[in-house]
């Protein structure tokens, strides 16, 4: 009879909010100073559904009540939690990741327990933030190291595959930067040994240390969440889950830019929002200490009934 390993199911949440133009994730800071996403085991005896188990764990760890959630992916790579936690030698740990959006708690800490805090997600993925300019680390560190990674391939076919991945992930040789390839970029950097999780998992030193690491495979889960959100906001109005009930068009634009990681042309953005019928004026204006007061808008929920895919149809990043 074949021996079968036991399976333990874990639940992880990438809880995202935007405050003052910065996209943030709620993280748990552990005694060793390392961050993780809120996570815990699923108990099939007391929890009716996976999402119910997730909400229970998040509330216990962070004192935070989740709003919008969606399941991301099931992460089940062998050894994904070793040696960080003690489990039976025959136990396979599988984690179900979730994305959650909220507009509360970033600035004043509402809902956060003592050992949790909001951290900007570019703290973990600095190469993803193009809002000011193309990140210098891409040309100074990442691309030279990745070229060495391709050159060190064991054969010509693998070298070609690695060069293709570099072009597609980092937009070289005339290929456009794709803001949705967050996970693909992270996994390429991992395989090339350029981030600290690689050193931790393989017992040696990383060639570079790009961005802050996270416990277990939680930076990979967060990368999956960022990619999902960047893609989904283009065909569903999920960005409004992160907005106050009323907002200015500039606040909306800055939130979209924060999530996508690049700047948008002001007039083009406003024309796009108007053409899509996503917002309507409230007849009120934001207080202003100088200049002309900006009109306040709100999300038109009727758009959900009017079109099957009412998102922000933004073009590709060049």
Residue-wise pLDDT tens digits, 135-154: 999 999 999 999 999 999 99
248 dihedral zone (left: phi>0; alpha: psi -120 to 50; beta): beta
Which of these CATH numbers, 3.90.79.10, 3.20.20.70, 3.10.20.30, 3.90.1150.110, describes 6-123?
3.90.79.10
C-beta separation of 280 from 298 below 8 A: yes
Give residue for tokens 């108007």: 274
Instruction: List pLDDT tens digits, range 102-114.
Output: 886 555 555 556 6
pLDDT cut 90: percent of the chain above it? 56
* Domain layout of the chain by residue ranges: 6-123, 130-211, 237-306
CATH level 3 topology of 237-306: Arc Repressor Mutant, subunit A (1.10.10)
C-beta separation of 91 from 5 below 8 A: yes
Cis peptide bond N-terminal to 262, omega within 30: no
Compute the average pLDDT of residues 298-310.
Answer: 82
pLDDT given at position 26? 93
pLDDT given at position 75? 79
User: Distance between CA atoms of 183 and 126, rounded to whole angstroms?
Assistant: 14
Main-chain dihedrals φ then ψ at residue 135, nearest 5 degrees? -55, 130
Whether 6-123 shares its CATH topology with 237-306 is answered no
pLDDT given at position 104? 64
pLDDT given at position 166? 98
Sequential DSSP letters for 97-137: EEEEE-SSSTTT-TT--TTEEEEEGGGT-GGG--SSSS-HH
């Amino acid at each position: 009879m074949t021996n079968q390993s036991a399976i333990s199911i874990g639940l992880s949440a990438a809880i995202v909010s935007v405050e003052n133009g910065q996209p943030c994730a709620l993280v748990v800071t552990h005694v060793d100073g390392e961050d993780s996403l809120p996570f815990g085991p699923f108990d099939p005896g007391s929890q009716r559904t996976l999402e119910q188990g997730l909400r229970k764990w998040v509330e216990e760890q962070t004192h935070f009540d989740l709003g919008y959630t969606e399941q991301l992916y099931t992460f089940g790579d062998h050894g994904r939690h070793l040696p960080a936690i003690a489990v039976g030698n025959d136990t396979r740990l599988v984690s179900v990741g979730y994305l959650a959006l909220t507009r509360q708690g970033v600035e004043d800490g509402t809902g956060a327990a003592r050992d949790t805090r909001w951290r900007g997600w570019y703290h973990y993925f600095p190469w993803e933030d193009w809002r000011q300019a193309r990140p210098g680390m891409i040309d100074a560190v990442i691309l030279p190291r990745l070229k060495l990674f391709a050159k060190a391939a064991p054969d010509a076919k693998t070298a070609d595959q690695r060069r293709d991945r570099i072009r597609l992930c980092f937009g070289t040789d005339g290929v456009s930067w794709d803001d949705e390839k967050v996970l693909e970029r992270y996994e390429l950097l991992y395989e090339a040994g350029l981030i600290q999780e690689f050193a931790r998992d393989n017992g040696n030193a990383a060639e570079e240390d790009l961005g802050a690491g996270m416990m277990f495979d939680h930076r990979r889960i967060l990368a999956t969440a960022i990619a999902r959100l960047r893609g989904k906001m283009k065909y569903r109005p999920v960005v409004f889950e992160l907005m106050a009930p009323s907002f200015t068009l500039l606040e909306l634009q800055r939130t979209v830019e924060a999530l996508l990681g690049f700047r948008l042309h002001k007039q083009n953005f406003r024309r796009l929002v108007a053409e899509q019928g996503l917002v309507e004026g409230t007849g009120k204006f934001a207080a202003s200490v100088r200049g002309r007061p900006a009109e306040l808008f709100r999300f038109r929920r009727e758009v959900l009934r009017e079109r099957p895919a009412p998102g922000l149809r933004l073009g590709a990043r060049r």
